[in-house]
Structure 1
Amino acid sequence: MKAPGTTTRLSVQKTYKLYVGGKFPRSESGRVYEVTDSRGAKGSGGGQDGGAWLANAPLASRKDARDAVVAARKAVAGWSGATAYNRGQVLYRVAEMLEGRREQFAREVADAEGLSKAKSAAVVDAAVDRWVWYAGWTDKIAQVVGGANPVAGPYFNLSTPEPTGVVAVLAPQDSSFLGLVSVLAPVIATGNTAVVVAAERAPLPALSLGEVLATSDVPGGVVNLLSGRTAEIATPLAAHQDVNGIDLTGAGPELAAELEAAAADNLKRVRRPALGEDWTADPGTSRLTAWLETKTVWHPIGV
């Protein structure tokens, strides 16, 4: 018998949704797919390899990808037009919010990557530190890659970096949170907006990141998060004429080659996947400079 004064509660399962334009829509197709814990790691879509069920994630469609690009394009002017110092403050606020939800992310990372409680907590700590690190670069990268150029004549010749625009990001498949932060943060730190395709088998940390972004100071549309089949979502993004760059980190060799060919149609900037990338290593500035264009201005020297 039930003890006096006790009640039986129904379990409240978390509903995961896409994050597009600052809102949380379901996939326009209404489709979902099962996400299982790390015991089901061999399958690309989860659910069929014996792992314990974790959640139903939205299965984004081509229409969702196009909607995400529209939202990202609308956000470009405001985000790129903000001061670098302000962008740094906004990104630091995201780190504060991540720190406040540390236990949730540690649990999701442990399920996604088969890590112990201590190791998953260390991964989350590293991801928060990585976010803070990129936040600190927002108002410094221009001094590293820009500057005054020596020219013959009575002119100032100044080169300054500017954002590329809308960048599609295929998040790494092997690092659901630290890898995700490592590829996303440099894109928005430099003033670009992003359409992110989460790790196909382990999308939950990415979808939870959308909840953090929505409650921080990041304007809607600056980051848009999609979950589903990587190839299905990435194909329209690579061919989209309003996408200015694509990070192929989360694509396999065959898919990466197809996407790179599609991206050439409008001369997108492409960052090819690297084999065996160590997400715990010092990231350097290469991902920051990958999404910057250089503008050079000539100005006559006043007499």
Structure 2
Amino acid sequence: MKVSEQSRLAVFKTYKLYVGGKFPRSESGRVYEVTDSKGGHWLANAPLSSRKDARDAVVAARKAVPGWSGATAYNRGQVLYRVAEMLEGRREQFTREVADAEGLSKSKAAAVVDAAVDRWVWYAGWTDKIAQVVGGANPVAGPFFNLSTPEPTGVVAVLAPQDSSLLGLVSVLAPVIATGNAAVVVAAERAPLPALSFGEVLATSDVPAGVVNILSGRTAELSAPLASHQDVNALDLTGAPAELAAELEASAADTLKRVRRPSPAAEDWTRDPGTSRLTAWLETKTVWHPIGV
């Protein structure tokens, strides 16, 4: 007997965190409802990450830093390009998720996904070029070479934009790992599903485990332990409201973190991003070397 389509139960997707190259549930077992931005219809339950999940993500990121920062810039570019290939292959899925998350039509959501793929390719192309832009040989009076070269900062905690679930996420995450850093990302609180699905893209690409870790949950709850964590070297406050950003910046000062403040005006994620987000997560190392034998 043929089973009618109407009698078939839908198989809903179970979203999980992405930490250390694996897909754990929150250690607390908590979840929260995610609804679409138009009618408030239920889409899925997302993991409600705890402070323990945040600490686990930092441990995974710290473990990944030596291998990723030590890879050649050319190799990092190849890996990032592979991510773009995998994202392009799941274009329909992300179009649907972005449409639900941001209340866009299918055509506009598809344009956002295309822009996210293009943005990722753009940053992939910068991996082996940024050193020539911000580094170089310095003129000195004496028989020495004086060379300045950019180096990764280390572990960067990123509060993803709240208003752009995929393109904004890509715009803040790609420059972090393109420059050799590892990232702990707190996804948009209201619309975390595209970010959690992006973890699946990363897992099936060549990005080493721990280089990117994605958490979902309450931004204020997760950002506090990240801002004060001694193994976090930098903090991107893009997705934090002004009052929370001020508190996190004060907390980050205790451990001398590099902090990128949120823009006072709404950011246009479709415009040319420039190199400011690349240079934000680089530190300049200057060395002297004698000329001759």
Within 5 Å, which residues of 2 pair with 1:158-237?
158-237=147-226
Residue 232 of structure 1 deviates from its aligned partner by 0.1
Query: Structure 1 regions of 5+ residues with no counterpart?
Result: 40-49
Q: Is 1:16 aligned with 2:34?
A: no
Cα deviation for residue 108 of structure 1 reads 0.3
User: By how many angstroms is 1:150 displaced?
Assistant: 0.1
Verify: 1:286 aligned to 2:276, yes or no.
yes
Alignment correspondent of 2:98: 109
1:266 Cα deviation after fit: 1.0
Tell me the amino acid that sits aligned with residue 277 of structure 1.
E
In the other structure, the counterpart of 1:299 is 289
Question: What secondary structure does 2:101 align onto?
Answer: helix
Aligned counterpart for 1:72 among listed residues 19, 36, 61: 61
Could you list the per-position Cα deviations for residues 236-293 of structure 1 after superposition, in whole angstroms to 9, with x for gaps in the alignment? 0000000000000000000000000000011100000002111000000000000000
Q: Match for 1:268 among 257, 263, 266?
A: 257
Q: Which digits, 9 at most, give the CA deviation of each residue in 1:70-117, with x for residues without a partner?
A: 000000000000000000000000000000000000100000000000
For residues 151 and 184 of structure 2, what CA distance do their matches in structure 1 show? 19
Partner of 2:2: 5
2:290 aligned partner, one-letter code: P
Q: Calculate the TM-score normalised by the size of structure 1.
A: 0.95
- Structure 2 unmatched ranges of 5 or more: none
User: How far apart in 2 are the matches of 1:253 and 1:137?
Assistant: 31
Give RMSD over aligned pairs.
0.8
Question: In the alignment, residue 25 of structure 1 is paired with which amino acid?
Answer: P
Aligned equivalents of 1:94 and 1:152: distance in 2? 46
Look up the match of 1:36.
35
Listed one character per residue, the Cα deviations across residues 189-217 of structure 1 (whole Å, up to 9, x for unaligned) are 00000000000000000000000000000
**Which amino acid is the alignment partner of residue 288 of structure 2?**
W
Deviates more, 1:7-16 or 1:56-65: 7-16
Q: 2:114 — aligned with what?
A: 125
Query: Residue 68 of structure 1: SS of its match in structure 2?
Result: helix
Matched residue SS, 2:286: strand
Whole-angstrom distance in 2 between the partners of 1:71 and 1:269: 20
Structure 2 letter corresponding to 1:281: R
